[in-house]
Chain A
Amino acid sequence: MRPDYQLSQLDVLEAEAIHVMREVAAEFERPVLLFSGGKDSVVMLALAEKAFWPARIPFPVMHVDTGHNFPEVMEFRDRRVAELGVRLVVASVQASIDSGRVAEETGRHASRNRLQTTTLLDAIEEHRFDALFGGARRDEEKARAKERVFSFRDEFGQWDPKNQRPELWNLYNTRIHRGEHIRVFPLSNWTELDVWEYIERESLELPSIYFAHERQVFERDGLLLSDNPFVTRGEDEPLFSATVRYRTVGDMTCTGAVSSSADTIEHVIAEIAATRITERGQTRADDRTSEAAMEDRKREGYF
């Protein structure tokens, strides 16, 4: 019995996210869900499945493929999409490079992270998507802490942080002109720990790299990077074997592993609950460029 009709924090967050997803399905013509295979998008996809059950998810999923992905994550992505019977749209950064839309970065710190924005915006235009679900959370980063659940993008895909639409109660303004779109963040109010606890509660499957495993790594700028064909490793960056897991999943070129022996979800949760470093701070080179690295990329149209 629940004498005072109390809901747990996960129940409240789930109800809010499902409300957001149904609102998008009801009010937009061409929504799409960004699915990277990372834990946040795994949760988002599970919520979409629930929101429309027993009907199928009424929108496709899209992966912005940098070509620098972890193979374990690609395998997971394809399997999950097949299980749900949803359509997968792949927007390829390699194709953007081949067609001359963007130029590959060179040098030691070359990454395709920033190139993704062009690929993403081109795909939005090509498929005429009007709403894009993203798995970003406000606790991740200080620019994201300011962003709306329904975040307006102009016809250039840009975010204007100083001119955001006020967002009150659970009433979302979904109106846009042709060519504009809305980024929708159903997990806005979730923390990293909420995500993990939900994965545990719902027994959601994740790519194997989220759990402790042996891997050949090298150290760069305090990050443990996996040995991979997409980075140029210097002579001063020797390889060594370590027991690691990933806290976030991005490109192999800029996503660091953490030393960890947490091989089950219970162990991962215990580790997250005790950690003193944010997930992006610990694992992402792409956020380290400047104090406003995320804000700048978001303004341009990044996830």
Chain B
Amino acid sequence: MDILRFATAGSVDDGKSTLIGRLLYDSKSIFADQLEAVERTSRDRGEEITNLALLTDGLRAEREQGITIDVAYRYFATPRRKFIIADTPGHIQYTRNMVTGASTADLAVVLVDARNGLTEQSRRHAFLTTLLRVPHMVLAVNKMDLVDYSQSVFERISAEFSAFAARLDIGDLAFVPISALHGDNVVERSAAMPWYDGPSLLHHLEHVHIASDRNLIDVRFPVQYVIRPHASTDASLHDYRGYAGQVAGGVLKPGDEVVHLPSGFSSRIRRIVGSGGTDIDEAYSPMSVTLLLDDDVDISRGDMICRPNNRPAAVQDIEAMVCWMSASSALAPRTRLIVKHTSRVVKAMVSELHYRIDVNTLHRDEAAPSLGLNEIGRVRMRLTQPIFADPYSRNRATGGLILIDEATNATVGAATITDTR
């Protein structure tokens, strides 16, 4: 059994909570006591039908205000797959939360209300999904029951979305007409829409092929921690020097020739030690392993191990799309930041803000003086030391970075590298 991480985007009005409730309920992942608590609260609040949104709204403020503030993570499993849902709030003021949820997602479900068709919000969700390079997207056209399960409505919305999607770079896009409330095409194929011959949403989630979404070509091993069992009384461990980390790309094998960055020294992989000491013959993303090399090279946290003929760029000036996440400060030329990229932490200064993008219309405002909370723009940054990076489109693990405020230590932004030349 493998794991599919998916993000859901859409507002409460689009039936997102109902859809999640339905997936959890039909896969028997809602427990009796959780359902009872929700039923009780719904009754106390005088609501006529059980409000499944209460299942996902975990904070007091969310329940009181009936809104979703933050990303909630939900878990369910079918015999085929384990699923992690990042349930993200849909409103524009929570763009940063959606970006957060999408950063680790294999797939995004963008919900639209069949009665309203595409809205500014659906376009924004699709844009953010592509910005974070979520490899698979599903446009779920919900509330089909309220448009008489009309094929033409579904086809009109799908065509309109396809036209919009052509301006974005979406790897894999699927359309499913559903009624979350009645369960049509959510878990089971619906008898009410005989004209639809695709899979149900859950069937699609269970079968979408994600293994090849990972980069298995470019070997990238950011060194996270050096394991040196100093105090050991075991003589065989005296010279043990293991480079521990999580594989960020490619496939590593014992015997492979590797290059260490920044030094440029080459060596060979002597052993790959898996968790708990077992030797393994192939390491790939997202495995956490320890490399032992043939030669004594001075390697420390923040360094990168790769192959001689396939290296990430060592860049000190980066071009990136930035999503600004701070309400108390803004990003502008000369803003100083701390950058965390793989296991490397460096200081940075914004050298240029090329443009701010309107997340609803994709219009680029080149006169924008700064980026405020939830705003997205193309930025050039100067780093105090090089990082070993790939374009985000090539590798999410070596192309993404977070921005930290020097004074408050808050995480104030996220960036995806567009260009390493």
List the interface of chain A (C-beta within 8 A of B): 4-9, 11-16, 18-19, 22-23, 25-26, 47, 49-56, 138-139, 141-146, 161-162, 164-171, 173, 175-177, 188-189, 191, 193-194, 275-278, 281-282, 291-292, 295-296
Contact = CB atoms under 8 A, between A and B. Distances in A.
Nearest to A13: B3
Contact of A12 (B3, B63, B414): B3
B338 A55 contact: no
Contacts, number: 194
B402 A162 contact: no
A43 to B, nearest CB: 13
9 contacts: A9-B2, A53-B275, A54-B232, A142-B72, A171-B402, A173-B411, A175-B404, A189-B75, A194-B82
A70 to B, nearest CB: 24
A161 B97 CA distance: 13
B2 A8 contact: yes
Contacts of B421: none
Interface of B: 1-3, 28, 31-34, 37, 41, 55-61, 63, 69-75, 77, 82, 84, 96-97, 99-100, 103-104, 211-212, 214, 216, 224-225, 227-232, 234, 237, 240, 244-246, 251, 273, 275-277, 282, 284, 286-288, 301, 325, 338, 340-343, 396-397, 400-402, 404, 409-411, 414
A295 B57 CA distance: 12
A204 B137 CA distance: 39
The B interface, classified by DSSP as helix, strand, loop or mixed, is mixed
Contact of B286 (A7, A142, A143): A7
Nearest to B400: A169
A296 B58 CA distance: 12
Contacts of B58: 141-146, 295
A8 B69 CA distance: 32
Given A15-B286, A175-B409, A281-B31, A55 B232 contact: yes
Given A19-B224, A278-B33, A26 B70 contact: no
B237 A54 contact: yes
B74 A145 contact: yes
A168 B32 contact: no
B2 A164 contact: no
A50 B246 contact: no
B60 A9 contact: no
A26 B301 contact: yes
Given A6-B211, A53-B277, A168-B100, A162 B59 contact: yes
Contact of A161 (B28, B70, B286): B70
Given A9-B82, A278-B33, A189 B227 contact: no
